[in-house]
Amino acid sequence: MFLSDNVLLSVKNLKTYFFTPEGTVRAVDGVDFDIKKGETLGLAGESGCGKTTTAYSIIRLVPRPGQIVDGELSFEGENILKKTEKEMVKMRGNRISMIFQEPIAAMNPVYTVGSQIIEAIKICHKGISKEEARDKMINLLKLTRVNNPELIIDKHPHELDPGSVQRAMIAIALCGNPPLLLADEPTTTMDVTTEAQIIELLKDMKREFNISILYITHNLGVIARMADRVAIMYAGKIVELGSIQNVFGDAKHPYTKGLLSAFPRHDQDIDELYSIPGVVPNLLSPFTMCRFYPRCQFAEDKICWREEPELIEVEPGHWVRCYLYGENVE
């Protein structure tokens, strides 16, 4: 839809719902974006907007009672949604890997860090010997800049600092040399120094292995440093998508403008940061209007209340879902 050449992953009309006793939660409700080979796409938005569910949908690990109900996930020209679970097991790690939000929670506390990395290596490289797997593990840990990897491989996750555990998780994610890496808020629990180190590490890994990254975060500062393009998500839909320069330099959607205004900047001296009024909508209710309408200072009743706007291209490579622009304007 957005890019026709050199596309690694294409997501079209993805819908992932959670069927609960209270009703159907439309966590991801018609999401469209592409990721090119070798690029980093940032996926940003408030907590609960559907970012993590989008990543779990791509790798087909949506937890119950969630279910992908519609859409197409085309990876390297093949529809992931048509693959069997056995085929997905082979694809995870080798073709698509994921770095999870809480590294210590993602690793098994019973086993040592080294044993878990070696297990991943053996899954990705069938028939590899024990000695070869150990050598590959040490090399991966050195690549991820773990200090003294020989000393940490016999430790359990809780015995290490969060930065070292996340580096081990990145080593696991890279052991199959996957072309696509899904990074779900990989620096959330870290101090700013460790966060900066992990961001630089991922950027170096991207260059060295020529991988594509879907980087999920609510931190726009990290997106600006990490990504080539950014998709802003709100209430289960992409509301703005484009290059970092276009979206951050000339934001179109009122929600994107609100997020940028709420983010502290070193070149501004203000007493109080902007806060977007209102609350996020209830995803249990079907939408018959613009999702941001109740919180939007630019909303017009006769247009925005009528139905949801389409995602349209307002300039080359810059897409917006808003009645203020282009084909949506009446």
Residue 26 pLDDT > 70: yes
- Is there a domain that residue 168 lies in? no
Residue 327 pLDDT > 80: no
- Is there a domain that residue 17 lies in? yes
- Is there a domain that residue 311 lies in? yes
Q: Is 275 helix (H, G, I), strand (E, B) or coil?
A: coil
The two tokens of residue 307 are: 């139905």
- Is there a domain that residue 106 lies in? no
- Is there a domain that residue 36 lies in? yes
- Is there a domain that residue 220 lies in? yes
| In contact, 58 and 80? CB cutoff 8 Å | yes
DSSP helix, strand, coil percent of the chain (3-state; round to 5): 35, 25, 40
Residue 196, C-beta contacts closer than 8 angstroms, at least 6 positions apart: none
Mean pLDDT of 94-111: 88
At residue 50, the pLDDT reads 93
At residue 3, the pLDDT reads 45
Residue 116 pLDDT > 70: yes
At residue 151, the pLDDT reads 87
Q: Identity (one letter) of the amino acid at 253?
A: H
What total number of domains does the chain contain? 1
Q: Is 219 helix (H, G, I), strand (E, B) or coil?
A: coil
Going from the C-alpha of 213 to that of each of 36, 106, 226, 249, the distances in angstroms are: 9, 19, 10, 22
Look up the pTM and report it: 0.90
Find the DSSP H helices in the chain: 51-58, 85-91, 103-106, 113-124, 130-143, 149-152, 162-174, 192-209, 220-226, 244-249, 254-261, 301-304
pLDDT per residue as tens digits for the range 164-182: 888 899 999 998 889 999 9
- Is there a domain that residue 164 lies in? no
- Is there a domain that residue 279 lies in? yes
First-last CA distance in the chain: 24
Query: Domain with 14 in it: what CATH number?
Result: 3.40.50.300
Mean pLDDT of the chain: 89
Identify the domain containing residue 239 by its residue range: 7-95+178-328
* Position 269 confidence tier, pLDDT thresholds 50, 70, 90: low
